[in-house]
Structure formats: C-alpha cells, structure tokens
Structure 1
Amino acid sequence: MVTFDQFLEMGLALPEAGEQVTWETRVTLRVGGKIFAMGTPGTGEVTVKASKADQAELLAAEPEVFSSAPYVGRHGWVLVRLAGVDGGELAELMAEAWRSVAPKRLVKDFDASGGTGATL
C-alpha cells in the first residue's frame, strides 16, 4: 500500500519535478510545465501518464489495482488504487511517466545517473 504523501514524495524526487494544485483540489506533478501524474488527497487513487500499450498491460494484469483514467484514459493514462499497488511498481510507473514528458537533456542525465526515483 502506498499513501498519497508517498506518491508525492516519489514524484517530487524526480529531477526538476514540481507540484501545482489545479482544479481547486487536484495536485498535479509536472516537469517543464507538463503533467505526468496527479491525484486528490483522501481519494485513495492517483492518475499516472502511460503509453496505451503499458495501460493495456497493466489493466490486464491487475484490474483490481489499475483502470483506465476518467477523461484522459483514451490517451493511455492509468488510474491507480493506492491500497493495492506496490511502492516499487508505482515508482517505476511514475519514472516512465516523467520520462515521457521531461526535456530530453533531463532524461539523458537521469538515465546516466541510474534512472531511479524515490522508492518505498
């Protein structure tokens, strides 16, 4: 099980990541102004950017933990139930989401340093 605070910690551990409250209660994690993950405290769920192929794989493997995210699921985003996800798996998903929107120089430096964010 992962808490919302741990989710934030994982995201903010990624290079140049920051948080911004949007839509009054939604915390968005961004790099270079682009969102890679988001969630609302107290809901027990977060949304993470993913490729459509990764989304399909996650939904097939663990439908009790992962589902297509409302509104943005058609673009690959995944809704993650925090009570059921492994911390290491969520950290990997967030690192991949970050890679998909981060500037190329940041990704190159991140990968050169071992390419790992915070884990539980």
Structure 2
Amino acid sequence: MSATSTSYFEHGTAAERWARARLFFEAKEYATAARILDPLAAEAPEQLAPRLLLARAYYHSAQLSRAERELRAILERWPVEDYAQLMLGRTLERAGRAAEARPYLRMAAAMAGEFED
C-alpha cells in the first residue's frame, strides 16, 4: 500500500473516518471499510461500535482469523455482547470449526431468548 492510500484511510477526524467506513461497509466494500476501521478501533478500544463493525467487515471480506481475533477481544471486554457471541459462532462455523462454534451460538440464542425445546 502506498503512502498516499494509507493517508487516505487515516485522514480526517474520527467522526469523518467512522462515516467513511460505514459508507464503504454499506457499499459492500468490506476490505476497504476494515482498512479504515482498524486504526480507528485501535484509537478507541473502549468503544464497541467501531470494533464490532470492524469484525463484521473482516467476516464479510473472508478475513476470518482477523474477525475471530477481534470478536474474542470484544467478548473479553463485553462478555454479554450477544451479537459478538453470534458472530464468533458464525465465524468459527465458516472456518470449518462447527464444534467450537456451538457454545457461542447457543449463548447468543439464550441471550436473545431463543431456547431449544
């Protein structure tokens, strides 16, 4: 990546970069959204929204190991984040690790009030 393209992703205020990342995500340009969100999430690790959108961008751009790493970090900080539980389960499933995914998927379902009969 050239210095010019790197500066594009890092240019602007946090609010401008957040808005730009969301536009790329909504346009299904997930890898580009992730490149914007990665430094943004690192700047504010205490904020859930950029980190969750980063994990989603990684997932949708098939960067599954990065998605898993980000989701595990989210759950370490916010263990009751049901959407992160669901996403981690789906990420592990997509990576061919269904047995490892099951507890996360069950936890997400329980948190959403969806109990098995």
Superposition TM-score tier, normalisation by shorter sequence: under 0.3
Please identify which structure carries the higher strand content. Answer: 1
TM-score, normalised relative to structure 2: 0.26
Please identify which structure carries the higher helix content. Answer: 2
Q: Whose Rg is larger? A: 2
TM-score, normalised relative to structure 1: 0.26
Structure with the greater relative contact order (CA < 8 A, sep ≥ 6): 1 or 2? 1
